Amino acid sequence: MNTHQHNIAIIGGGCAGLSAAATLTERGYSVTLFEASSQLGGRARTVVVENKDLLQLLDNGQHILLGAYHATLSLLEKAGVKENEAFLRLPLQLNMVSSSAKSIFSLKSVNYLPAPFNMLVGFIFCKGLSFKDRITALTFMRHLQSSNYEIINDKPLVKFLKLHHQSAKLIQMLWEPLCLAALNTPIAKASSKIFLNVLRDSFSGNKKNSDFLIPKLDLSKIISHPLAHYIQARGGSIKLNHRIRTLVEVDNGFNLETRQGTFNFSHVIVATSPARTDKLLEQLPKLKTSRDKTDHYQYQPIYTIYLQYPIETKLPQVMCGLSNTISQWVFDRGELCGEKGLLAVIVSAEGKHQKLTQDDLALKVAKELNQAFPQLPKPLWHKVIAEKRATFSCLPDLARPTNRTAQSNLYLAGDYTYASYPATIEGAVRSGIYCANLISNAS
């Protein structure tokens, strides 16, 4: 039921737009969400792929959430998602396997200890590092805690780690895989400040903050479907296949022009990716400062290589890291989601793999998996999903536009606007809720 005068448009049905719409509709606002494509979810969605004349559902990328994603988890809970049905929650553990089938590094948080001791003791007992490296890592973690994970001058992460005497092995086994997973940016370029924010939120407070939550269902069943249902049940309208072409200021608010016609609204939240925002804001001169910030953004890819093996095929763990290979992480979708024999391999950030054709990349990855897990047979089929602009490059001192803009009643949401985080579901959700709060606090 609309209990306010405002008539609010949200442009973009990814995590940011959906969280803004859910928050506003539950507070009684009239909301219309416009999504350019035929489905919701944006960069966290399930896609239909054709495989040997069969239609198959696959996520556009294997996502992982963290226990520290409080805003996302509570939003999903409100929308009726049951955590134990949607996710496999694992206390933090990193298992790295080499291409010669050896376990070369393993770190596990110690479950019965409170944070931060669960991680500190984990470092003492981790496998694959010399005693000296373990002490160096431990000393570094203690230093980060005592400085509340803050640094004054941002710099590329690899420089920061070297300043703190982290050895090449520690960087290779521990910090680089964590940096790629969290920031999707090569360690030589990644922002130390943002990396430390993620470490602080994961390793301090409740020990569950560092848990991994790995989806057990298709992403759309966990995120966009329940949130769409929640929004519509509260009177919100969702318009798929409605790309906003232009956004202009008029006397009584804003006109949004689509192929299907022009719509008028009193308030607008622009919740598109930064790559799409510039064009939308072109006709709003007051937004120039916001536009200037994202104008020079660079982007990083994420490739997900799905390999189907005979249904009895299993990995030793549901999630495993690979070292010295193009493949970075492999997930056993059979154990996770019941998709028996299906493995998903993630390759984050830019690299030489981008020069390969998709078939050659899949062959290369299959070969690497076979070396790491010699029991694996030949895959039956493969599918590569390449998200070329998966995230913005999370560089040191990257300028981030604020959610409130110089144009009254127009707000920006999206992962890139949540300044203390890299591109994540949690950043996107928090930005959407923050924009909703700005509107409701002002009315």
Binding site for ligand FAD (CB under 6 A): 11-17, 34-37, 42-44, 60-61, 63-64, 243-244, 271-273, 276, 280, 302, 304, 387, 390-391, 414-415, 423-426, 428
Nearer to ligand FAD (CB atom), residue 29 or residue 329: 329
Task: Write the DSSP string, 271-282.
Answer: -S-HHHHHHHTT
Q: How far is the CB of 44 from ligand FAD (least distance, A)?
A: 4
Q: CA-to-CA distance for 263 and 272, rounded, in angstroms?
A: 18
Identify the DSSP state of 173. Answer: I
- Give the 3-state secondary structure percentages of the chain, helix then strand then coil, rounded to 5: 35, 25, 40
User: Residue 413 Cβ, how far from ligand FAD at the closest point, in Å?
Assistant: 7
HSE-up of residue 222 (Cα within 13 Å, Cβ side): 26
CB nearer ligand FAD, residue 144 or residue 271: 271
- Contact yes or no for 59/218 (Cβ under 8 A): yes
- Peptide bond preceding 274 in cis form (omega within 30 of 0): no
Assigned token pair, 167: 């050895």
Whole-number Cα distances in Å, 22 to 204, 280, 325, 376, 393? 29, 23, 41, 44, 28
Nearest CB to ligand FAD, comparing residues 6 and 242: 242
State the minimum distance, in angstroms, from the CB of residue 245 to ligand FAD: 7
Cβ closest to ligand FAD, residue 36 vs residue 231: 36
* Residue nearer to ligand FAD on the CB measure, 81 or 376: 81
Q: How far apart are CA 247 and CA 263, in angstroms?
A: 10
- Strand segments, DSSP code E, in 225-315 are 237-239, 246-250, 253-258, 261-265, 267-270, 299-308
Nearer residue to ligand FAD within complex by CB, 305 or 376 = 305
| Minimum separation from the CB atom of position 72 to ligand FAD (A) | 8
CB of 157 or CB of 425, closer to ligand FAD: 425
H helical segments located in 33-173 = 70-78, 83-86, 117-125, 131-146, 157-163, 168-170
Positive or negative torsion for Cα 399, 404, 405, 411: positive
Please, what is the minimum distance in Å from the beta carbon of residue 48 to ligand FAD?
A: 16
Shortest Å, Cβ 61 to ligand FAD: 2
Cβ 6 to ligand FAD, closest distance in Å? Answer: 20
Nearest to ligand FAD of 166, 197 (CB atom): 197
CA pair distance 75, 311, nearest whole angstrom:
35
Interatomic CA distance for residues 15 and 426, integer angstroms: 8
Is the CB of 212 or the CB of 373 nearer to ligand FAD?
212
User: Least CB distance from residue 183 to ligand FAD, whole Å?
Assistant: 10
Q: Which amino acid does the sequence have at 311?
A: I
Q: Is 388 exposed, middle or buried (0-12, 13-18, 19+ CB in 10 A)?
A: exposed
CB of residue 10 to ligand FAD, shortest distance in Å: 9
